[in-house]
Amino acid sequence: MPFQAVILWTDWLIYLLVAVIAVTIVYVRGREHLLAPWRRVGHSASGMVGLTVLMLFVIVGLLDSLHYRPRIAGNAASAKVVYASEVKSALDAVLEPLRSRREKTYSAPLATELFAKEMIEHADGSQSRDYPRLKFGGTQLKEPATDRAASIARAVIGGAATGVVVWLFLALFIAAAVAQSARTHIHLAWSALWRGETPAPWRAVLLTMLAVFLAGGAAVALAVNYHVLGTDKVGQDVLYLTLKSIRTALVIGTLTTLVMLPFALALGIAAGYFGGWVDDAIQYLYTTLNSIPGVLLIAAAVLMMQVYIDTHPDLFPTAAQRADLRLLFLCIILGVTSWTGLCRLLRGEALKLKELEYIQAAHAFGVRHHRIISRHILPNVMHIVLISVVMEFSGLVLAEAVLSYVGVGVDPSMNSFGTMINNARLEMAREPMVWWSLAAAFVFMVTLVLAANLFADAVRDAFDPRVRTSARSLKRLPPLAKAGVA
């Protein structure tokens, strides 16, 4: 084996999440009443654009969740196989050139020289104070001052053109699929697609993909010779750091809700269904937890966790495992502070549902409590769970940044948007300003959160019965599909 697989705690949970989603998809596909709201999501242009962008982030995050320890090339004589102590991920393997090309310190995006002046020794022994050339950025250029612009333009045009070609194939494939499902000719489907007449908003999705492929193609072409987003204080490529941060954001946004969901479901439904002292006890519990300001509870808990990690170093063999456990703990404690809202909603809904006739009838037939809860109540509160899970995601991603700034977020050695912003804050004071790592974190974070918000809105509109029946959403229904494609 050229490598040894390493599965961190959060990796396990991510695989579990992926499995849950896959099972849900299979389950929903065969049931029309469950499929209908999802179809409404699929018909919302903004929702599908958001989903498209989210999927790109998810792909990066999943690649970054396949961890392994590469084998160290030892002498062939020794039979013992040795693996590196450093844990890498599949994303690291893909981005190996970005990861390994380290400069000395800051350099601006697409620069050929370092950001700060240094003493340079020339071949003839003389010394001068100037900006030294980068070790990896733009090394192919003989005369950076004159050739750089042309070289960058060539790379951008070439990369973008490649992106467009790939995108055209993708668009043709989608048109073919649309034609297949509508049983028409492909050129009819193609023109319907671009007039925005397909039932699913393929035009919006394809335009989003076009933007991604243009930017992505240009970035890949540039990354061959340059640091696209510059380098940070220790000379690491900022693009690499940003891509690595995506996993942290996704883990915080998804695992937190995964961790809190069992508690919120069990306690919320129990409080509403059983009433009486159970209700009182659970209400007291969540009012108490709610009354502690979230950030302070998190700070207190994370400080305690830090004390525990520091006093028990033998439990955490590698730095990656330590950082990973802290991330998981952060998810758990964020979950503890954020389950109360969902719990209250579920309690109210269970309270309402248990008075309905079909549940009264089930009682009369002598159906047991756990059967009533699992067969009658649980399926009828799932839309609330789904809405709050997707609505919560973007808030959690934003919260991670704040917590990491406060110093109670992820481990300082772990890449995240919060640590990037935190480091960038000190760089802002430099003259001239080091703006690129802040800008990179800003762009990626806003894109992620915006996409999540758009998708969450589409999900809420499709699943919330209150929104569905109001006159506003009637107006928003897509125009009836025209002949030819429908």
Partner 1 sequence: MIAYIIRRLGYAIPILIGVNIITFGLFFLVNTPDDMARMQLGVKRVTPEAIASWKQERGYDKPLLFNAAASGLDKVSNTIFFEKSLRMFVFDFGRADDGRDIAREIRMRMGPSLAVAVPAFLVGLFVYITFALAFAFFRATYIDFWGVVICVAAMSISSMFYIIGGQYLIAKLWHLVPISGYSGGTDALRFVLLPAAIGVIAGFGGSTRLYRAFFLEEISKDYVRTARAKGLSETVVLFRHVLKNAMIPILTGVVVAIPFLFIGGLITESFFGIPGLGSYTIDAINSQDFAVVRSMVFIGSLLYIAGLLLTDISYTLVDPRVRLS
Binding stretches for partner 1 (CB under 8 A): 284-285, 287-297, 299-301, 303-304, 306-308, 310-311, 394, 398, 401-402, 405-408, 417, 421, 424-425, 428, 433, 438, 442, 445-446, 449-450, 453-454, 457, 470-472, 475
Rounded Cα distance between 151 and 19, Å, is: 45
Select 27 or 308, whichever has its Cβ closest to partner 1: 308
Q: Which residue has the tokens 């004589």?
A: 77
Query: Order of strands across the sheet with 67-70?
Result: 3-6, 67-70, 88-89
Please report where in the chains the tokens 């937890």 appear, as a residue.
289
CB of 424 to partner 1, least distance (A): 8
**Closer residue to partner 1, CB minimum distance, 293 or 484:** 293
What is the distance between the alpha carbons of residues 184 and 181, in angstroms, rounded to a whole number? Answer: 8
Residue 66 one-letter amino acid = L
CB nearer to partner 1: pick between 175 and 449: 449
Dihedral pair phi/psi, residue 485, rounded to 5°: -105, -35
Pick from 231, 251, 257, 254: which is nearest to 416 by CA?
Answer: 251
Nearer CB in complex with partner 1: 273/329: 329
Q: Cα separation of 309 and 326, whole Å?
A: 9
Which residue type sits at 448?
L
Q: Which residues contact 160 (CB under 8 A, 6 or more apart)?
A: 214, 217, 218, 221
**Spatial separation of the C-alpha atoms in residues 99 and 95, rounded to whole Å:** 6
Q: Output 19 or 315, the one with its CB closest to partner 1.
A: 315
Decide whether 89 or 256 has the Cβ nearer to partner 1: 256
Q: Which is nearer to partner 1, 136 or 417 (CB)?
A: 417
Residue placing its CB nearer to partner 1 in the complex, 60 or 445: 445
The CA-atom distances, in angstroms, between 11 and each of 278, 322, 392, 413, 452 are 36, 14, 21, 18, 22
**Closest distance of CB 429 from partner 1, Å:** 9
Residue 401 C-beta: closest distance to partner 1, Å: 5
**C-beta separation of 478 from 43 below 8 A:** yes
Distance between CA atoms of residues 260 and 256, nearest Å:
6
Among residues 2 and 313, whose Cβ is nearest to partner 1?
313
Q: Is 211 exposed, middle or buried (0-12, 13-18, 19+ CB in 10 A)?
A: middle
Q: Least distance from C-beta 277 to partner 1, angstroms?
A: 14
Q: Given the complex with partner 1, which of 221 and 414 has the nearer CB atom?
A: 414
In the bound state with partner 1, the residue whose beta carbon lies nearer, of 160 and 301, is 301
Minimum CB separation of residue 450 from partner 1 in Å reads 4
Tell me how far, at minimum, the Cβ of 128 lies from partner 1, in Å. Answer: 32
* CA 315 – CA 325 distance, rounded (Å): 11
Q: What is the smallest separation between the CB atom of 217 and partner 1, expressed in angstroms?
A: 25
Nearest distance from C-beta of residue 402 to partner 1, angstroms: 6
Q: How far is the CB of 406 from partner 1 (least distance, A)?
A: 6
Residues comprising the chain, all counted: 486
Q: How far apart are CA 369 and CA 375, in angstroms?
A: 10
DSSP character string of 298-326 = HHHHHHHHHHHHHH-GGG--SHHHHHHHH
* Gyration radius from the chain CA atoms: 27
How far apart are CB 447 and partner 1 at their closest, in Å? 8
Q: Which amino acid is at 346?
A: L
Structure tokens at 461: 């509109």
Shortest distance, position 431 Cβ to partner 1, whole Å: 10
